Amino acid sequence: MTPRLRALAEQLLPLVVALLVAAVVGDVLILTFGEAPRTVFRLLVEGTWGNPYGIGQVLYKTTTLTCTGLAFALAGRAGLFNVGAESQLAMGGFAAGVVGMLLPAGLPGAFALALCVVAAGVGGATVGAIPGALRARFGASEVIVTIMLNFVVLALLNWVISAKLHVPETLHTPPVVAGTVPRLSTLFPALHGSAANGTLVIALAAAVVCWRALFRTRFGFELRAVGLQPDAAEYGGVQVPRVIWQTMALSGALAGLGGMNFVLGYKGYYEEGFAGGAGFLGIAVALVGRNHPLGIVLAAVLFATLSQGGLAVNALVPKQLTDILTAVVILAVATAVPEVRRQLRAAAAQVRQSVAGTAAEKAS
């Protein structure tokens, strides 16, 4: 096996294993409910990719998941765990919503939208920069700080909404007056009724920018160096602490962009609890997408399909079926990745050895 083929196998084999495991677990769970797996899986596909509305909903969910997946992957490439995408997503949505509320209604759409994009990014970046700075300055574990910060930020937003900003009898802000993102149905009328909106374009653009930034710029070169071997990066003139906090801020900004999807693209206001776990699902997306922007977009589609598909099959089996499968996929990929790498490397070493052995025999 050539090194390149082995690298590809290292990336893809765990996914195959994970999907097989998930399929088996799914079958078993469906059977415990007394339903036929075929029927349920067919329903799942029909309810998502089988009709325009389903497709629209999948695309809507893909948007947020792409953003949070990119957020986790960017940090992951620098060797950091951003478990705080949930609150960065919420803060991004909140910031975009507040700016959209405060802007004058007559502002040109593109300009207002640009301001809202900046607001969403800055909102998420602020939340991401805190654990980044604490890690860079004090060595505080970014895993724990991001988790703890999730609760702090969500409580803070809860207080702002419930005490200051809500429309009476609801848990959401007044509607935005500028910067709304048009629905995709304005271009593709078939998608009418679905929440899919132009934020998808922003998310896909973010993926392209991430890919270029990671693999074609000096910043990405240094970021990945920090993630692989921080001591070598330092030796190579990289200011490691600076890269750490900047990466966490950018990671937060990516998650924050995802907040526009709901706030500016769907409802037109910020609502308490809209993030709904999409931040944590970003971990699954990044893991299955192998921390590569292209992989992340595909993985986001997969998990969005599962999430929307859960709703489609809810009449037969509880919609949590697909959440369980999501968790199974995460666990299976997380365990298969190191195992596959070990097996492949051992196999390669064995081949090298037998080659060396026969060469030695011939020589003697």
Partner 1 sequence: MSQSGSSAAAVSLTGIVKRFGGVTANSGATLTVAPGEIHALVGENGAGKSTLMRILAGTLSPDAGTVSVDGRTVTGWSTPEAIQAGVGMVHQHFMLVPTLTVAENVALGMEPTQGWRIDRTKAVADVAALSARTGLQVDPTALVADLSVGEAQRVEILKTLHRGARILILDEPTAVLSPPEVEELWRVLRTVRASGGTIILITHKLDEVLSVSDTITVMRAGTTVSRFATAGSTASDIARAMVGRDVQLAQDARGAVPTPSASQSTAPALRITGLSVRSDRGTEAVRDLSFVVHPGEVLGIAGVEGNGQTELLEAIAGLRAVRAGTVHLGTQDITAQTVRDRADAGLSHIPEDRHRRGLILDYSIADNLILGRQHHFATAFGLETARIAAHAEEQVRRFDIRPPMPSLAARALSGGNQQKVVIAREMGRAFTVLLAAQPTRGVDVGAIEFIHAQLRAARDAGKAIVLVSADLQEVLALSDRVAVMYGGQFSTVLPRAEATMEMLGRFMTGATA
Partner 2 sequence: MNGIAFLLQTMRIAVPYLLAAGGGVMSERVGVIALGLEGLMLSGAFGAAMGSHFGGNPWIGLLGAIVAGLIVSTVIAVATLRFKADQVVVGVAINLMAVASTRFFLRLVFDSASNSPRLPGFGGEGTTSGLLASFANPVVWIGLLSLPLLHWLLYQTPFGLRARAVGEKPEAAASVGIAVLKLRLSGLLLGGSLAALGGAYLALDQHQFTDGMSAGRGFIALAAVIFGRWEPRRVAIACLLFAAAETMQIQLQGAQFVPSQFVEMIPYVVTIIALAGVVGRSAAPAALGKAE
Interacting residues with partner 1 (CB under 8 A): 3, 212, 216-218, 221-222, 224-225, 228-229, 231-237, 239, 345, 349, 352-353, 356
Q: Which amino acid is present at 13?
A: L
Sign of CA dihedral 54, 65, 181, 176: positive
**Applying CB under 8 A, which of residues 112, 134, 184, 299 lies at the interface with partner 2?**
134
User: What is the SS3 assignment for 85-101?
Assistant: HHHHHHHHHHHHHHHHH
Q: Is 107 in the site for partner 2 (CB under 8 A)?
A: no
Could you tell me the smallest distance in angstroms from the CB atom of residue 352 to partner 1? 5
Could you tell me the smallest distance in angstroms from the CB atom of residue 89 to partner 1? 28
- Kind and range of the H or E element at 294? helix 293-313
Could you tell me the smallest distance in angstroms from the CB atom of residue 249 to partner 1? 20
Q: Is 108 in the site for partner 2 (CB under 8 A)?
A: no
Taken as a whole, the chain contains a residue count of: 364
Could you tell me the smallest distance in angstroms from the CB atom of residue 96 to partner 2? 22
With CB under 5 to 8 Å by kind, the binding choice for 186 among partner 1, partner 2, none is none
Give the C-alpha separation, 112 to 251, whole Å: 23
Binding mask 248-277 for partner 2 (x = CB under 8 A): -----------------------------x
Output 74 or 328, the one with its CB closest to partner 1: 74
Quick one: 97 exposed, middle or buried, by C-beta within 10 A (0-12, 13-18, 19+)? buried
With CB under 5 to 8 Å by kind, the binding choice for 156 among partner 2, partner 1, none is partner 2
**Applying CB under 8 A, which of residues 138, 187, 363, 364 lies at the interface with partner 2?**
138
With CB under 5 to 8 Å by kind, the binding choice for 235 among partner 1, partner 2, none is partner 1
Return the C-alpha torsion angle 235, 238, 244, 247, nearest 10.
-140
**Applying CB under 8 A, which of residues 15, 58, 145, 165 lies at the interface with partner 2?**
145
Give the C-alpha separation, 157 to 248, whole Å: 21
With CB under 5 to 8 Å by kind, the binding choice for 232 among partner 1, partner 2, none is partner 1
CA distances from 210 to 225, 229, 250 (A): 16, 21, 10
Cβ(88)–Cβ(45) below 8 Å: no
Could you tell me the smallest distance in angstroms from the CB atom of residue 68 to partner 2? 12
* Residue 248 CB contacts under 8 Å (≥ 6 apart), including other chains: 75, 80, 82, 128, 129, 131, 132, 133, 135, 142
With CB under 5 to 8 Å by kind, the binding choice for 170 among partner 2, partner 1, none is none
Quick one: 164 exposed, middle or buried, by C-beta within 10 A (0-12, 13-18, 19+)? exposed
With CB under 5 to 8 Å by kind, the binding choice for 237 among partner 1, partner 2, none is partner 1
What DSSP designation does 83 have?
T
Output 46 or 323, the one with its CB closest to partner 2: 323
Binding site for partner 2 (CB under 8 A): 29, 32-33, 81, 83, 134, 137-141, 143-145, 147-149, 151-152, 155-156, 158-159, 162-163, 277, 280, 283-284, 287, 318, 320-321, 323-324, 326-328, 330-331, 334-339
